[in-house]
Chain A
Amino acid sequence: MASPKIKLSIRDLVIKFKLRGQVLTAIREASLDIYEGESLAIVGESGSGKSVFTKSFMGLLDGNGWIDSGSITYEGEDIARFKTEKEWLKIRGKKIAMVFQDPMTSLNPLKTVGKQVQEAVELHQGLKKEEAKRLTIEILDDVGIPDSESRYKQFPHEFSGGMRQRVVIAIAIACNPHLLICDEPTTALDVTIQAQILNLLKNLKEKYSLTTIYITHDLGVVANVADRIAVMYAGDIVEIGNSEEVFYNAQHPYTWALLSSLPQLGVKGEPLHSIKGTPPNLFYEVKGDAFAPRNPKALKIDFVEKPPYFEVSPTHKAKTWILDPRAPKVDPPASIKILRDQWGGRKNA
């Protein structure tokens, strides 16, 4: 199989923020390749840096944040070095578009829905007035807004949450991007609408041949949409692999902990699993494996030295000393074993 083309390549990215006079390192030398046409999910708990990581691809970091070192290569150009708005305007919308979390606040309340989508159409597709309007209505149709012609003239407050998220998606699509970043696209929606929106995103990905990145802490969403999964913890990607590999053959103790927290994997009658402790304070330098203090089975070296990536398969790697050939054997939790057995069964079948 020919290796797929790399769309976006992030190398040793370090992002820092200045907060109340202190410097916080939000992303600690994270590296990631995103392949053309794939659907990648970045999972991790709140504050792990998922959003910051992807925002940096569009130059949307808050004013007190900056890329300290590392590179983000898009079509041969290191966009991490972009400084001016003019440079970023080549990327924003045109190449990379974003769907945000909260559809209730993501739209301008005083502009009609149609105008807000049309703004993107006019900007990125070089169309004017009537033509732009026609395409806008077409896109509204595409994202599943019924009666789009009359909806075009309505204001956001006349739309329900799910419908507004469709509009937000329509805006992203209207930019005609190559890469679509969905930052927790379903978190603010109720469960039935979640499924609809995920389906919509999947269909649009096919129709417009998009590369998509999902940011989420909802493993249910991940299972639904992702080809590959990157697990993020304390500003670094600790494990990455194909969806099945990460779900059924997880290697990093943090991934174990995340998966064990799935209610579906719990034993009836027993309390649900939760990860003890809190993520490390990123105001201080993190030594060794960032997850070690919360990991009951941590090795001594975990506290001393940062683990490199160990390859599990050509597509699957994890940053944990457990995978070092010299490391003592560490047993994964029972629920992970069950998953592995299931996978083994599948593979053999």
Chain B
Amino acid sequence: MLKYSIKRLLQSLVTLFIIITIVFLLMRLMPEEGYFGDEFDKLDVAQREAILASMGLRDPIHIQLGNFYKDLFSGDLGTSIIYRPKVPITEIIADKLPYSLYFGLVAMGISLLAGIPLGALMARSKNKLWDKLGTGYIVFINAVPAAVYFLFLQLYVTDIFKLPILFRPDKPVSWILPAISMALGSTAHYAMWMRRYMVDEINKDYVRLARAKGLRNQTIMLKHVFRNAFVPMAQYLPTSLLFTIAGSIYIESLYSIPGMGGLLVDVIQRQDNSLVQALVLIFSSIGIFGLFLGDILMAIFDPRINLQKKEGAR
């Protein structure tokens, strides 16, 4: 187990290294005005060259890469250029991340707590009322563009329950709706997969044997079916974690939450090169970490995943 984890971790680090290097190299191909902000037009060519040289961007590429990694390991992601000029990127992220993280985690919690029991309930009452209601909900969420029901919630639910329309950090009630809105989609997602895996498991022979053994249906569901169906669900958890950190563009702009949502799109449009680079780096590390975590979780839950075999084992 430990050996497998370490091996998987090393693989992840290699992947991360490759991604970071590629992103860094790609960023060098971006138009250079991204390093100047508003001052670009005011500067002549010699001044621009001087600034670029002072930023180390005229050094040979391998030196630049080396410097970049050196800064990275000391926790320095550089400073923003256009988005919030001269502010360290770590500071910008530290400002915004808590909001996204908070809403993301709460939404994830809600959707896990609601979606997985819902899926289990649907599987147990397959083709009966609960299953049909649940399916209706899942189809609705998947078929109707999120914008529609997000807006609907904001418009009417705030009215009915007298909730504030916009987010205010000092008013906890204003935190409710965004979190719930964010949870709607992933609840449907979890419910759908949980139902599917449960139905898969219920039809397996070992469930029949467990019944023949004289186990109560409830015990079978809980100790055999639910547990086994949850194993493939484990692989979704880390990815969901990633989404919580990336933030929801739509919800955050709808309720004007100062989170991470849309930050990446924003800084790409405004060509804030160093910030783009830092964000891609952060997101991809979290993504890779998520996959790593997913694999480890699967290995913990499923004894069939052979950790000793050298080839093809994963």
Check B213–A105 contact: CB distance below 8 A: no
Cβ proximity bits A153-190 to B, threshold 8 Å, 1 near / 0 not: 00101000000000010011001000000000000000
Chain A residues touching B, range = 20 to 34
Report the bound CA distance from A39 to B224 in whole Å: 33
Check B205–A120 contact: CB distance below 8 A: no
Check B214–A110 contact: CB distance below 8 A: no
Tell me how far the C-beta of A51 lies from the nearest C-beta in chain B, rounded to whole angstroms: 11
Tell me how far the C-beta of B278 lies from the nearest C-beta in chain A, rounded to whole angstroms: 42
Tell me how far the C-beta of B73 lies from the nearest C-beta in chain A, rounded to whole angstroms: 41
Report the bound CA distance from A120 to B223 in whole Å: 13
Report the bound CA distance from A119 to B223 in whole Å: 11
Residue in A closest to B206 when the chains form the complex, CB atoms? A108
**Which B residues touch A50, using CB under 8 A?**
none
Which listed segment binds B: A88-96, A256-264, A309-317? A88-96
Select which of A94, A100, A175 is within 8 A of B208 by beta carbon. Answer: A100
Report the bound CA distance from A92 to B219 in whole Å: 14
Q: In this assembly, does B75 line the interface, its C-beta being within 8 Å of a C-beta of chain A? A: no
Report the bound CA distance from A120 to B206 in whole Å: 13
Tell me how far the C-beta of A62 lies from the nearest C-beta in chain B, rounded to whole angstroms: 10
Check A168–B213 contact: CB distance below 8 A: no
Known contacts A102-B205, A105-B204, A110-B231: does B304 contact A155 (CB below 8 Å)? yes
Q: In this assembly, does B70 line the interface, its C-beta being within 8 Å of a C-beta of chain A? A: no
Q: Which residues in window 295-310 of B have CB below 8 A to A?
A: 301-304
**Which A residues touch B208, using CB under 8 A?**
60, 100, 106
Report the bound CA distance from A172 to B302 in whole Å: 25
Report the bound CA distance from A102 to B209 in whole Å: 11
Cβ proximity bits B203-220 to A, threshold 8 Å, 1 near / 0 not: 011101111111111000
Check B205–A106 contact: CB distance below 8 A: yes
Check A105–B214 contact: CB distance below 8 A: no
**Which B residues touch A171, using CB under 8 A?**
209, 213
Tell me how far the C-beta of A5 lies from the nearest C-beta in chain B, rounded to whole angstroms: 24
**Which A residues touch B302, using CB under 8 A?**
109-110
Select which of A93, A102, A107, A108 is within 8 A of B214 by beta carbon. Answer: A93
Cβ proximity bits B10-23 to A, threshold 8 Å, 1 near / 0 not: 00000000000000
Check B304–A94 contact: CB distance below 8 A: no
Report the bound CA distance from A303 to B213 in whole Å: 43
Q: Which residues in window 220-270 of B have CB below 8 A to A?
A: 224, 227-228, 231
Q: In this assembly, does A231 line the interface, its C-beta being within 8 Å of a C-beta of chain B? A: no
Question: Which of B204, B205, B211, B213: most chain A CB closer than 10 A?
Answer: B213
Q: In this assembly, does A8 line the interface, its C-beta being within 8 Å of a C-beta of chain B? A: no
Q: In this assembly, does A85 line the interface, its C-beta being within 8 Å of a C-beta of chain B? A: yes
Q: In this assembly, does A97 line the interface, its C-beta being within 8 Å of a C-beta of chain B? A: yes
Tell me how far the C-beta of B227 lies from the nearest C-beta in chain A, rounded to whole angstroms: 7
Check A175–B213 contact: CB distance below 8 A: yes
**Which B residues touch A79, using CB under 8 A?**
none
Check A157–B213 contact: CB distance below 8 A: no
Residue in B closest to A98 when the chains form the complex, CB atoms? B212
Check B212–A60 contact: CB distance below 8 A: yes
Known contacts A85-B216, A155-B304: does B211 contact A108 (CB below 8 Å)? no
Report the bound CA distance from A329 to B212 in whole Å: 47
Report the bound CA distance from A112 to B208 in whole Å: 18
Report the bound CA distance from A92 to B205 in whole Å: 16
Pull 28 A–B residue pairs with CB atoms less than 8 Å apart, ordered by A: A58-B212, A85-B217, A89-B216, A92-B211, A93-B213, A94-B214, A97-B212, A97-B213, A98-B209, A100-B212, A105-B206, A106-B205, A107-B206, A108-B206, A108-B228, A109-B206, A109-B304, A110-B228, A110-B304, A119-B210, A119-B213, A120-B213, A123-B213, A123-B214, A124-B214, A168-B209, A171-B209, A175-B214
14 additional contacts, CB 8 Å, given A107-B206, A157-B303? A60-B208, A60-B212, A89-B214, A89-B216, A92-B211, A92-B213, A97-B213, A100-B209, A105-B204, A105-B205, A109-B304, A110-B304, A119-B213, A155-B303
Q: Which 3 pairs, one residue from A and one from B, show the smallest C-beta to C-beta distance?
A: A93-B214, A92-B214, A105-B205
